[in-house]
Amino acid sequence: MQPSHDAKHPLRILLVEDNDDHALIVMRNLKKESFVHKVDRVSDGVQALQYLRGLTPYEHREKPDIILLDLKLPRLDGHEVLSEVKDDARLRKIPIIVLTTSDAEVDKMKAYDLHANSYLVKPLQADDLKKMVESMATYWGVWNRNISKPEAEKEP
């Protein structure tokens, strides 16, 4: 049974994922959720920061409510992205869920030291990944109380 959701603030999600297969599974499952308004994807850490800061070519993007962040990214890795976001007063309140293949203790500790909000290890089976994405979306989209953004706070 799917929980009911107050649709006053449907979720906008940024997926930072370089693996096309993983991205496809995650995006398909997120888009099935009625409370997910939009899912955008970038494929490396530099693009993630450009997107989040509204730089070219992302000047018309809407700031996401949640970031799903892989750690093993080209150009700028996930830990570096996490550090930059959490050091930026305009971005630090956006929850960041690390979604990665790494189960290494050093990666988990570093992510939490950098203020990740959650650390999820991608299961090997596609069906298990689908279930994880559905559960994660329900938690962050329904049960968790996000900070709502008044109209005056929306950024360009």
pLDDT at 104: 96
Query: Is there a contact between 56 and 50 (Cβ–Cβ < 8 Å)?
Result: yes
d(CA 70, CA 43): 9
What's the pLDDT tens digit per position in 97-140?
Answer: 999 999 999 999 999 999 999 999 999 888 898 899 888 888 88
Q: Give the residue-averaged pLDDT of 84-96.
A: 96
Q: Has residue 6 got a pLDDT over 90?
A: no
Spell out the domain ranges in the chain: 11-139
pLDDT at 143 over 90: no
Instruction: List the beta bridge partners of residue 135.
Output: none
The pLDDT score that the predictor gives to residue 148 is: 56
Output phi, psi for 71, to 5 deg. -90, -40
In this prediction, residues 68-87 reach a mean pLDDT of 96
Number of Cβ atoms within 10 Å of the Cβ of 137: 23
Task: Find the length of the chain.
Answer: 156
Percentage of residues of the chain with pLDDT beyond 70: 87
Contacts of residue 39, Cβ cutoff 8 Å, sequence gap at least 6: 12, 13, 14, 15, 27, 30, 31
What would be the CATH architecture of the domain defined by 11-139?
3-Layer(aba) Sandwich (3.40)
- Which pLDDT band, with edges at 50, 70 and 90, does 149 fall under? low
pLDDT number for residue 146? 66
